[in-house]
Structures are given as C-alpha cells and as structure tokens.
Amino acid sequence: MSKIDLNNISHSYNPNVPNPVYALNPFSMTWENGKRYAILGPSGCGKTTMLNIVSGLVRPSAGSILFDDKDVTDLKTESRNIAQVFQFPVIYNTMTVYENLAFPLKCRGFSKDKIDERVKSVADTLSLQSFLNSPARKLTADQKQLISLGRGLVREDVAAVLMDEPLTVIDPDLKFRLRRKLKEINEEFKTTLVYVTHDQNEAMTFADNIIVMSEGEVVQAGTPKELFERPNTTFVGYFIGSPAMNLFETEVNSNNEVKINDTVIKISTDLSTIKQKKLKLGIRSEFIEIAKDQKENLITATVEKVEDLGNYKLLTAKIGELVIKSKIKREIEVSSEKVELHIPHDKCCIYENERLI
Amino acid sequence: MMNLVAENLSYKPDEQFHLNEVSFNFKKGNIYTILGRTLSGKTTLLKTIAGLLTPDSGAMRFEDKDFLKVPVWERNIAMVYQQFINYPHLNVFENVAFPLKQRKVDDKEISDVVLNSLKSVGLEGYENRKIQELSGGQQQRVSLARSLVKNAKILLLDEPLVNLDYKLREQLREEFKNIFSQGLSEESIVIFSTTDPREAMELNGEVIVLDEGKVLQVGPAKEIFENPKTLKVAEISNDPPMNILQANMDSNKIKFEGIEVDVPNHLNNVKDKNFNLGIRASNIELSDNGFEFEVELAEISGSETLLHLKRGNAKIITSIEEVMNFNIHDKVKLNFNIDKVYAFNEEGILASSPFGGSYV
C-alpha cells in the first residue's frame, strides 16, 4: 500500500521529432495510500498510457514517478510491486483455480499456511470457494475474470492494484456485486486501487476520486460530486451526468451578474478580474426548478416538450434560441406555453474559453 | 385486415418456451415497444416477425396474407440489430444505398433517398467515410439509415442502443424518437425492443411486457408504468426495479421491518392482511426524522445516485436526483411517500395502485 506521486509526467510515443505529439500532456498528481481512483475518458484519451506509466510497461518521456517517495521511474514492472488486472481474463489454463490464486504468493516464497489463508479469504470474497479444485479452463468467462481479479487481490503487500476495464466481460448483476466487493476490499485492506474505464457510471460508482482525461490531457481530478457540481471544463459538464449540463452564451453585466439574452442572472462567481465580455454559464438540469416563490434569477422560457420518464419529467424549453432542460417532479403539470424557471445563483458555473472561472 | 396480427405464437426449441402463446395486434402508423429483460424472448419474437424463425405453432397475418407462409425476402421488413451491422468494405453512402441498388432503383433516385436518409440520422457529409472510421454510435446510425431507405412496411429494432455508451444513448434515443415521429409513413409499423423502461416511456407508444416468452401486459407506456398488473411487470417496467417489501396491515397501520406508517386512502379497500408493498426508488426520500437504513452501495447512474440500502431482511433502493457521496455502512434516514405505494396480493397481482388500477 503506497502513496504514488506523478511529477511532471508526459509521454510521446515518438518524442524525437520536432513538435512531438503527446499521448499524455505534462501533469502532476498524488494518489494517496488506500484510496480508490478511476481514470475516465473516451477511447484514445491517454488513460491506458497513464496506467502503463504507473505499472512500468511504458517509461514516460519526461517526469518521474514515486512510490512512497522512492523514485521508480526506471524500475521495470516486476520490481514495482504492483498487481494488475486486465480487460480480459489472464489465467493459467493448466492449473486449478486454487493454484491460479496461489501463484503470485508461491512465486514470492510465502509459506503454505499463509498461502492457504490468503487464497481462501480471496476465494470467499469473490464467491469462488466451490470452484477451488476445478481446472481453471473449465470456468465461464466471467468466473475466469474473477480469478484474474482474485490474483490481483491475493497479495496484501502490493503498492497498488491497477485495473484496466476489469468488468467488461462480467454480466450486469455480478458487476453490481463486484463493484461493492472492490469497495469493501479497499475499505478493509486499505489497498490503493486504480481503475481505468470509459464508463462514467462505473467510474462514478467505484472511485473516491476520478481523473477525467480528454485528448491526452487531465481535464479534472475530483470526487464524483465535484465533477457533477463544478465541472472544470464544458467538456466535463457534457461528459458527466445525464442529461448533459445546460450551457448558455452570456454577456457580462457586472462583477456578479451575467445576461442570458436580456435576462440578468446573479451568480456567485466574482468576475472583477475577467476581461472577456462573453462567457458561458453552465447549470445542471437537476438544479433548475419551475419558479414558485423565488423573487430573483427567474427566466421565462417557451415550453418545447415535457417528457414523462416515469421517475421524473424532463422539461425542454427555449429561451430565444437557447435550449434549457430541467428535471421536474412527475406530479408537476406544465400546462401553459411559457414557464418561469429559477436558476439558483450558487449552482451556476461560469466558463471562460470553456474553462471554469 | 391490414394489421399485423399474431395468435398464440409458441416456440420451444429446448426445455424452455422462447415464445409462449404470444398474441398481438399491431396497427400501421404506430410504435410498439417490446419491454423485457435479457432472454425474455424479445429477439425471438422479432425474428419470428422477420421470418428468420418459424414458430412451432400459432398464426400470423399481415395485409390479408398468412404471413408465416411469406418467405423472408418477400416480407418487406427492415431490421436494426444490437450489433452495428454494416458492410465493412463499402463506404457510408454505399452501405445505405445497398438495398436500393439491389432493387435496381435508378442512380439519381438512390442519391436523393440516401442523402435524405443520412440527413435524418445526422450523418450529412459522411457519405465517403469508411465504416471503420466511424464511432459505434455513427455506425448504428448508418444501419438505421439503411433500414429507413428500404421504406419497409415493418421496421424492427432489436435493442439498437444497448451497445452504446450512455452519452451516445442519450443522444440517439432522442433522435430515434424524432425520426419515428416525423419520418415514418402512416403505412409502417415500428417495433422496438428494449430492456430499458425509460426508453419505453420516452418512445411513448404501446408497450408489450414480455417475460419468459409470455406477454404479461399490453398497454400505453404510461398505463404500464402507473398500473403494473403484477409484481413481475412492476419489476420489469421500473429502473431501478420497484422495491417490494413484505408488509401487513391492520385497521389503520401498515407494518414492515419494524416500520409503521398510516394506511393511505387508496389502500383502504385492500382486503389481504399480508401483502406485498411496492414503492418506487423515486418515492423514497432522505429525511432527518425518517427510518434508519444502512448503505450497501451508492451507485451513480447518469446524474442519479442510487442508494442500495438494507434494514433487517429488507433491501431497498432509493434514487436521489443528483450526485452525492456515501460510504458503505453509512446510516441514512428515509421517509416513504406513502401516497405513492402499491399493494400486490400474495399471488403478486396488483390490488391497489395510487393511480386507481386494480386487477383483483
């Protein structure tokens, strides 16, 4: 269990040409001991490159990586004391499930008793007890993936467990159980877990902290709640949450007001140092309500449609040409063509050149 | 009779029924949603309509013909599958043009129809792209565009959004709906299968709830949602599934897991002392003076936090319409919106719904 520091790491797969293309732009970050991290982004965003740098499969073009303050940048994967789980099962076909799980411990010369204790404990956690003596090759794809996971978790002394889309082949019900298991294992053993995924729901459910990547850049690192409420960029506002964050072109009206078309909206962001006159305002549809007794930050919109989605209604309305979406309670009837919507000032995010102020 | 009508279709290739006495009456100009879980028989049903499967028994008629006797190639059906099926060696234009080329339509008309169809699925300007250069969502749009140019009388869509990530799903769901509501003629029938109750609500057509090859309920999406006939339907037509708790009732209290609440008016007529209490995740709220539950997992889905909770033997899910942080074993307090509960009798049949429905 280690703290991991990534200092000014960057990577180009072809660094010796003029103006190299970076698979990973320079970034620094600390991963604390015993926490759960998810690296999230669309394919090609650099997330696997980042994981491979941590595991030692890729040496970064620049920067250093420290495990508990010890520089491991030049150490090979096998010297880094990490466990890895990949997208598809990697198992020893000729061995039993027990032998598969015991393998990482056996290689490191643990005693028979210790091995037995750990294998049984991991098998218990992953509900593999009844298969321990079966040949691994006889198991189904998702059971095999459980063995891969189990091998990743069987050693207690690893610096971190690195997982690259580990639940892709697992069926949905089991997925739910495993997400919970992984969280429990993390809480019980304080294992540092790093999890790569392209699935927002999976990342948000699993991690304490999410690193959102786009086009080789770390665009935001934060808790699920932070990503949802204060997206650093308009991309994160779009990428996290469903529906995507509402975004409007606005004009600065004063140090704490912007104008959407002709309506003045009070905001909590201080604009006194901002030179640009055109900014974007972002707000989640969950935070917009049909006005009841609020006095300010009201905006009139023309109802386009109200969809009854069962658990809530999704109101789509227009302010001039701007589209605004609001989640409203199912019981609320929207009858008129015009609605007055309340925009809470403390939930507004203001973006200059797509970046949060 | 111009409708697509099926009577008692059954198909049992192994020990289990894939279709069990399925009957329906589909009218032109309408959208039908087959809602059911994985392996409920949705794909089998669509394949039977397409003519890719012959049922063991039953009858199907369309436009006054014995449809089961009409061979696949004469059925005038278009189908979009879960997997994005396209011709890899052809570009986007050629993929969409393929069915028209086969029918020897003249080039000028092909060009017009294809470009129009690509426009309707949001792929204007992609004509010359290779299929491999497209994202999953774009590939699925190509499949849809190809199925639209056929101008088929029956359009079958078999979970077309299931293999897309949720951002694309969100986008395509809306586009599909627009295409169906504008682009389809009064002459065609659209049949869309899904596991996702939200898609069924959003498409807002007639819903057929299918489970283990059997039709459990048929009705408008809203009606199925508000008045599910059985526990099973309540489970299938809600995401997360409706919470079901074993409860009992005396003159003025409902009791479950050491919780006591007043009997709401709409349950006054329920005769059973012991019954299944159904309550949606969205009708349970966090509340400081509520009943205590323990967090098993906080799952985040889109912008919702789904809290999986337990109290004694009872396991429930509540949903919160924003992203919140919880740890496993956290204690939370809940308030049940009792005016929104359902009662199902011990056989699992709806006894009372907040929307007035009852099947006992």
Phi, psi of B153 (to 5 degrees): -80, -25
Phi, psi of A56 (to 5 degrees): 95, 5
- This prediction's pTM: 0.85
* Chain-chain contact of B322 with A286 (C-beta, under 8 angstroms): yes
Give the closest-approach CA distance of B293 to chain A in angstroms. Answer: 17
* Chain-chain contact of B321 with A187 (C-beta, under 8 angstroms): no
Give the pairing type, strands A62-67 and A355-356. unpaired
* Chain-chain contact of B170 with A243 (C-beta, under 8 angstroms): yes
State whether residue B121 is helix, strand or coil.
coil
Whether omega before B240 lies within 30 degrees of 0, making that bond cis, reads yes
- Containing structural domain, residue A191: 4-235
| Among the partner residues B197, B299, B322, nearest to A310 by beta-carbon distance | B197
Nearest chain A Cα to B173, which residue?
A: A243
* Chain-chain contact of B325 with A244 (C-beta, under 8 angstroms): no
For B332, residues 6+ apart whose C-beta sits below 8 A from its C-beta are B286, B292, B293, B294, B295, B307, B309, B326
* Chain-chain contact of B327 with A205 (C-beta, under 8 angstroms): no
Burial string for B306-323 (b: 16+ CB within 10 Å, else e) reads bbbbebeebebbbbbbbb
Can you tell me the distance from the alpha carbon of A252 to that of A280, in angstroms, rounded to the nearest whole number?
10
For B26, residues 6+ apart whose C-beta sits below 8 A from its C-beta are B3, B4, B5, B32, B189, B191
* Chain-chain contact of B303 with A200 (C-beta, under 8 angstroms): no
| Among the partner residues B166, B198, B325, nearest to A310 by beta-carbon distance | B198
Please give the CATH architecture assigned to the domain spanning B236-352: Beta Barrel (2.40)
* Chain-chain contact of B328 with A307 (C-beta, under 8 angstroms): no
Give the residue numbers in A contacting B (CB under 8 Å), as ranges.
Answer: 176, 179-180, 183-184, 187, 198-201, 204-205, 223-225, 227-229, 238-239, 241-244, 284-287, 307-312, 327, 330
Give the closest-approach CA distance of A180 to chain B in angstroms. Answer: 6
Q: Where are the beta strands (DSSP E) in B67-195?
A: 77-80, 154-158, 189-194
Total count of domains within chain A: 2
List, for residues A41-98, the tens digit of each pLDDT value: 987 788 989 999 999 999 999 999 999 999 999 999 989 989 999 888 899 999 999 9
Kindly report which listed range (A3-7, A12-16, B112-116) carries the lowest average pLDDT score: A12-16
List chain B domain ranges.
4-227, 236-352
| Order of all β-strands in the sheet with B350-352 | B259-262, B253-256, B243-249, B274-279, B342-344, B350-352
| Chain B CB contacts of A228 below 8 Å | 303, 322-323
Same domain, A190 and A253: no
What is the ipTM score, two decimals?
Answer: 0.84
Phi-psi region of A123 (alpha: psi -120 to 50; beta: other; left: phi over 0): alpha
Last residue of a domain, one of A209, A235, A261: A235
Helices A141-153 & A97-107 angle (0-180, nearest 10): 20
Give the pairing type, strands B243-249 and B65-66. unpaired
Can you tell me the distance from the alpha carbon of A186 to that of A152, in angstroms, rounded to the nearest whole number?
13
Domain B4-227: what homologous superfamily?
A: P-loop containing nucleotide triphosphate hydrolases (3.40.50.300)
What pLDDT does residue A242 have? 87
List, for residues B184-239, the tens digit of each pLDDT value: 667 889 999 999 999 999 988 999 999 999 999 999 999 999 999 999 999 999 98
Same domain, A116 and A255: no
Same domain, A227 and A289: no
Can you tell me the distance from the alpha carbon of B198 to that of B240, in angstroms, rounded to the nearest whole number?
10
* Chain-chain contact of A311 with B170 (C-beta, under 8 angstroms): no
For B235, residues 6+ apart whose C-beta sits below 8 A from its C-beta are B241, B242, B244
Same domain, A50 and A105: yes
Asked if pLDDT for residue A168 goes beyond 80, the answer is no
Same domain, A212 and A274: no
Is residue B60 classed exposed, middle or buried when 0-12, 13-18 and 19+ CB atoms within 10 A define those classes? buried
What pLDDT does residue B184 have? 66
Phi, psi of A20 (to 5 degrees): -65, 150
Nearest chain B Cα to A230, which residue?
A: B323
Using CA atoms, how far residue B307 sits from A175, A186, B235, in Å, is: 16, 19, 17
Please name which of A13, A75, A15, A28 lies closest in space to residue A218, comparing C-alpha atoms: A28
- Half-sphere exposure at residue A286, Cβ-oriented, CA atoms within 13 angstroms: 20
* Chain-chain contact of B165 with A199 (C-beta, under 8 angstroms): yes
Same domain, A93 and A216: yes
Same domain, A15 and A71: yes
| Among the partner residues B166, B202, B323, nearest to A228 by beta-carbon distance | B323
Give the closest-approach CA distance of A275 to chain B in angstroms. Answer: 33
List, for residues A210-247, the tens digit of each pLDDT value: 999 998 999 999 999 999 999 999 999 999 998 899 99
Q: Which of residues 190-229 of B touch A (CB under 8 A)?
A: 197-198, 201-202, 204, 222, 225
Same domain, A133 and A209: yes
List, for residues A293-319, the tens digit of each pLDDT value: 888 999 999 999 999 888 899 999 999
Phi, psi of B258 (to 5 degrees): 70, 10
Is residue B322 less than 8 Å (CB to CB) from chain A? yes
Same domain, A182 and A298: no
Q: Can you give the CATH number for the domain in which A260 is found?
A: 2.40.50.140
List, for residues B155-184, the tens digit of each pLDDT value: 999 998 887 777 888 888 888 888 877 766
Same domain, A222 and A308: no
Map tokens 């794809």 to a residue. A141
Q: Can you give the CATH number for the domain in which A84 is found?
A: 3.40.50.300
For B247, residues 6+ apart whose C-beta sits below 8 A from its C-beta are B254, B255, B256, B274, B275, B276, B277
Mean pLDDT of B245-259: 90
